[in-house]
Amino acid sequence: MTKSEIRRSNNRPRQSFGFGHSGFGFRVSHLGFTLIEFLAAIGIFAILVAIILPYMVMVREDAHRTECYAHLGQIQEALRHYAHDNGPNLPMPETFYDPVHKPSGYVAFTGTDDPKAVQANDITASIWLLVRQGYVKDPATFICPSTSDEPDRLTDITGNPVSAQKRGNFRSPRNLSYSYASPFTNAFNVVFSSDQLPAEYAVMADKNPGYACDGIRVIGPTRDAPPFELAKGNSPNHQHAGQNVLHPAGDVSFESTPYCGVSNDNIYTALAPHRLTASHPPLDVPGYCGTSVGPAYNYSSYLVPTARDR
């Protein structure tokens, strides 16, 4: 190369590489991004995600809540047909109730693989009657889609398929997302007929959260508690925002408080540890809970099982 060619080569414009640092990488300013621009883009994307994600979660929960609503509507149809055939009682076989040795209280999830082994006052076996007798065809009807619960697969203890008639109960607590008004009580004037219950009575709802108790006395919240405290008494199915509640006429309502029963009764607790005879019992008190209590007054709902029952 001649001296003139070398001089021309040295005078030729140099091209740089990278993010503006000479010799690191090729840079064309109108096609690339600086580090600051790249971080700004990530920041904008993160802000959009933070805005959109809660909305997507809300839309998904609304869809799940609607599907849960529909499931309770299907259960109502099953209860209506059962009551029509059983004049007009809701599920509570006499063989499952022991008014002498266990006049109040309940058990749950007994006799799964043998209907004859179901214990007295089994609340979940009462619900399972709808499956055993063909009023509910698909056990998935008892699952709220907002939960991680799974439908009963209708298998025996070894995992082999079996008919619902040979089963006495749900296989697991995870196979049932709802609580049912306990009929197991010796209280005066308690009725459990679909044509005698008041319109606001709670027949079934999203699962009872299982209240903290001092013995059997419920530790709050009271009806006039602040919203954030009151929410702790709501079902966990919908992140304690409230619960879908099924009423005798077949209507389903979403209630933001557990004090949504007859005369502001808490649907997830019992009014008293024994039957009440007062003409105007205190319906807005936290009440009592546990497997040893039942409804203490007519038209008072005590929905069980709870999320604590196994």
Q: 231 near 241, Cβ under 8 Å?
A: yes
The one-digit pLDDT tens for each residue of the chain (310 residues) are 555 554 555 555 554 444 444 444 444 445 566 888 788 888 888 888 788 777 777 778 788 999 999 999 999 999 999 988 887 778 876 557 777 777 788 999 999 999 999 998 999 999 999 999 999 999 999 999 999 999 999 999 999 999 999 999 999 999 999 999 998 887 756 666 777 888 899 999 999 999 988 888 898 788 889 999 999 999 999 999 999 999 998 899 999 999 999 888 899 998 877 777 655 566 567 788 999 888 888 788 999 999 999 8
Q: Tokens 């010796």 sit at which residue?
A: 186
Hey, which residues does 245 pair with through a beta bridge? Answer: 205, 253
Cα–Cα dist 274/186, whole Å = 9
Cα–Cα dist 106/108, whole Å = 7
pLDDT at 189: 60
Cα–Cα dist 294/273, whole Å = 7
Map residue 71 onto helix, strand or coil: helix
Cα dist from 231 to 68, 184, 213, 240, 243, whole Å: 19, 28, 17, 6, 10
pLDDT at 57: 74
Q: Is the dihedral of CA 204, 78, 144, 132 positive or negative?
A: positive
Closest CA to 119 of 75, 168, 72: 168
Q: Tokens 């199915």 sit at which residue?
A: 237
Cα–Cα dist 74/25, whole Å = 66
Cα–Cα dist 256/65, whole Å = 13
Dig out the tokens for 130 from the structure: 């709808």
Cα–Cα dist 243/241, whole Å = 7
Q: 139 near 175, Cβ under 8 Å?
A: yes
Q: 91 near 127, Cβ under 8 Å?
A: yes
CA 163 to chain centre: 27
Cα–Cα dist 230/223, whole Å = 7
Q: 85 near 121, Cβ under 8 Å?
A: no
pTM exceeding the 0.85 threshold for the entire prediction: no
At 185, give phi and psi (nearest 5°).
-160, 155
Cα–Cα dist 182/201, whole Å = 12
Q: Tokens 């009023």 sit at which residue?
A: 135
In terms of C-beta density within 10 A (0-12 exposed, 13-18 middle, 19 or more buried), how is residue 39 classed? Answer: exposed
pLDDT tens track for 289-310: 999 888 888 788 999 999 999 8
CA dihedral of residues 210, 212, 216, 222 (deg, nearest 10): -100
